[in-house]
């Protein structure tokens, strides 16, 4: 090929790049401030190396909580400005509150302000450079999709939502007899015989194949793809690309032999992991119930004045292996909210009381479920338990829906921190894709990631 594709940073590479240069920018500026202004509160040297490690630890934890490494937000300076201030402010506060591991508070309190500015300002400068150059179109990944029965618009939207630097340039349709809805005028339809020329002309970085050979991948096109593969051109399977980019499993695009190549996480059978996770569930649920007891008098008082009815309610949900159990929640809806039969709760549900809206926005209505976690009906992390009537309905519509019941349901989960609030079958499909991804990749690292993202969800009042 006479013209090589333009350079592109992968998702993982950009996240590492952001974390690395955030830390470097912060430490370099702190070093310069210490040298130029004789800044005594924080010093980077061999004697006080623990100060630097604690600062980096706090910064990376709160950077994750306040979404500094969300690639969608990292490409918008207004979001970055807000998140940098939240992260640096919280980091400095926690840093000052742990003097056993960090320096004692300075006599001149103005140094705390210098400390804050020496962290925030270099971060803002570096992130501005990132947006202007690394996150610019010159580094976008340009992709061509090969397939027969697919919605190219949906593929393009899903991939770009997960990675703002991912652009589907065009497609090759391998089966004209199958109808598809392609409305995006900017997407180019290429012919199979023009594949190599299209790669050169449009600077394609990668080909994504969404069609099997026996399902429409014709021999001439197969030979061209095989040649490109031999010369080192990246060609990937759509299911794997979708999973890597979106952290979901596209169950609607997999065949009936799904279970043959869906390797469940080893953690699901790992005795040490299960024992550790159960111990963690018990400790957190006890702490959660203690917190609930402290705030319960205030909730009872407000409930008497506004909701005027029962405070608690129990509802049947489907648990591990499809076994039903009673879930406990604080009541957020009016009396006889389902007089016309069961239906999904919506984001701005008219059946929700005024106090109920506050409970749902703050997630306080979920606190009684710590009792379910303590009993063992639920875990802290897992797919959210659904009502039997909806499980029956969704199982008939969505492939592999009941696969989510192979582990305990959770108080929070991958779907809860990644998916938008929804109340229809399409939203249930997206949540199932996230749930199956969690079951497949379940690990301590992913669990910690979910806990951090749950804090972000609660802080920014997302979801309900």
List, for residues 253-277, the tens digit of each pLDDT value: 666 555 555 666 777 778 888 899 9
As a CATH number, domain 140-246 is 3.40.50.10700
List, for residues 309-362, the tens digit of each pLDDT value: 788 889 999 999 999 999 999 988 777 666 666 666 666 666 778 888 888 888
Report the mean per-residue pLDDT for the chain. Answer: 83
| Mean pLDDT value across residues 69-74 | 88
pTM, to two decimals: 0.82
Judged by average pLDDT, the poorest of 293-307, 309-323, 417-431 is 417-431
| Mean pLDDT value across residues 82-104 | 90
Residue 352 DSSP one-character state: B
The pLDDT of residue 269? 76
Whether residue 417 has pLDDT greater than 60? yes
Nearest to 251 by CA among 64, 404, 95: 404
How far apart CA 436 and CA 430 sit, in angstroms, is 10
| Mean pLDDT value across residues 78-94 | 94
Helix axes 77-96, 49-65, angle to 10 degrees: 140
The pLDDT of residue 47? 80
Inter-residue contact 117 to 85 (CB < 8 Å):
no
The pLDDT of residue 423? 65
Inter-residue contact 103 to 45 (CB < 8 Å):
no
Q: For tokens 């921190």, what's the residue?
A: 417
List, for residues 4-53, the tens digit of each pLDDT value: 445 677 788 888 999 999 999 999 998 888 888 777 788 787 788 888 99
| Mean pLDDT value across residues 275-291 | 95
171 three-class SS: strand
Q: What are the residue boundaries of the structural domains of the chain, listed by start? A: 11-134, 140-246, 266-459
Q: For tokens 């090759």, what's the residue?
A: 172
Judged by average pLDDT, the poorest of 88-97, 149-158, 212-221, 277-286 is 212-221
How far apart CA 441 and CA 266 sit, in angstroms, is 8
Residue-by-residue DSSP string for 76-135: -HHHHHHHHHHHHHHHHHHHHT-TTTSPPPPSSTHHHHHHHHHHHHHHHHHHHHIIIIIT
| Mean pLDDT value across residues 74-93 | 93
The pLDDT of residue 10? 79
The pLDDT of residue 3? 41
Tokens of 165: 């630097």
The pLDDT of residue 22? 96
How far apart CA 394 and CA 386 sit, in angstroms, is 10
Residue 411 — pLDDT band, cuts 50, 70, 90? very high
Measure Cα distances from 460 to 74, 85, 353, 457 in Å: 17, 15, 21, 5
Q: For tokens 């703002």, what's the residue?
A: 164
224 three-class SS: helix
* Cβ-Cβ contacts under 8 Å for 318 (sequence gap 6 or more): 324, 385, 386, 387, 388, 391, 405, 409
Q: Which residue has the higher pLDDT, 421 or 412?
A: 412
Inter-residue contact 363 to 329 (CB < 8 Å):
no
* Cβ-Cβ contacts under 8 Å for 268 (sequence gap 6 or more): 406, 407, 439, 442
Residue 176 — pLDDT band, cuts 50, 70, 90? low
Whether residue 430 has pLDDT greater than 80? yes
Measure Cα distances from 57 to 85, 422, 464 in Å: 17, 35, 31
| Mean pLDDT value across residues 193-216 | 79
The pLDDT of residue 4? 46
Tokens of 414: 């991958």
Residue 172 — pLDDT band, cuts 50, 70, 90? confident
Judged by average pLDDT, the poorest of 298-307, 371-380, 418-427 is 418-427
How far apart CA 451 and CA 414 sit, in angstroms, is 9
Q: Which residue has the higher pLDDT, 399 or 130?
A: 130
List, for residues 97-140, the tens digit of each pLDDT value: 888 888 887 777 788 888 999 999 999 999 999 998 888 777 88
């Amino acid at each position: 090929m006479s013209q090589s594709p333009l350079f592109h940073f992968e998702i993982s590479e950009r996240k590492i790049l952001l974390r690395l240069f955030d830390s470097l920018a912060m430490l370099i500026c702190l070093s310069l401030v210490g040298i130029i202004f004789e800044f005594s509160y924080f010093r980077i040297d061999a004697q006080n190396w623990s100060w630097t490690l604690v600062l980096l630890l706090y910064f990376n934890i709160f950077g994750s909580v306040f979404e500094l490494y969300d690639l969608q937000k990292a490409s918008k300076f207004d979001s970055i400005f807000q998140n940098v201030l939240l992260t640096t402010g919280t980091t400095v506060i926690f840093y000052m509150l742990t003097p056993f591991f960090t320096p004692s508070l300075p006599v001149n309190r103005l140094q705390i302000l210098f400390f804050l500015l020496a962290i925030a300002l270099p971060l803002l400068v570096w992130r501005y450079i990132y947006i202007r150059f690394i996150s610019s179109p010159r580094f976008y990944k340009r992709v061509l999709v090969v397939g027969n029965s697919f919605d190219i618009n949906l593929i393009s939207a899903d991939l770009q939502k997960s990675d703002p630097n991912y652009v589907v340039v065009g497609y090759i349709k391998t089966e004209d007899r199958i109808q598809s809805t392609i409305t995006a005028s900017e997407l180019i339809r290429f012919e199979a015989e023009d594949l190599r020329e299209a790669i050169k002309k449009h600077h394609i970085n990668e080909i994504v194949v969404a069609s099997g050979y026996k399902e429409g991948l014709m021999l001439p096109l197969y030979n061209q793809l095989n040649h490109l593969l031999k010369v080192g051109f990246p060609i990937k399977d759509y299911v794997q690309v979708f999973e890597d980019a979106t952290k979901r499993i596209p169950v609607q695009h997999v065949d009936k032999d799904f279970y043959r190549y869906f390797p469940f996480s080893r953690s699901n059978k790992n005795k040490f992991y299960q024992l550790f996770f159960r111990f963690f569930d018990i400790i957190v649920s006890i702490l959660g119930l203690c917190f609930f007891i402290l705030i319960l008098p205030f909730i009872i008082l407000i409930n008497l004045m506004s909701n005027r009815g029962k405070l608690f309610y129990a509802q049947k949900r489907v648990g591990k292996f499809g076994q039903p159990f009673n879930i406990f929640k604080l009541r957020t809806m009016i009396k006889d909210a389902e007089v016309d039969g069961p239906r999904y709760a919506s984001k701005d549900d008219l059946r929700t009381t005024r106090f109920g809206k506050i409970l749902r926005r703050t997630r306080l209505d979920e606190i009684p479920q710590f009792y379910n976690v303590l009993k063992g009906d639920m875990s802290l992390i897992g797919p959210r338990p659904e009502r039997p009537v909806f499980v029956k309905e969704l199982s008939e519509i969505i492939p592999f829906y009941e696969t989510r019941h192979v582990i305990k349901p959770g108080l929070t989960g991958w779907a809860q921190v990644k998916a938008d609030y929804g109340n229809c079958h399409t939203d249930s499909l997206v949540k199932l894709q996230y749930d199956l991804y969690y079951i497949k990749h379940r690990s301590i690292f992913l669990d910690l990631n979910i806990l951090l993202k749950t804090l972000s969800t609660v802080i920014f009042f997302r979801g309900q």
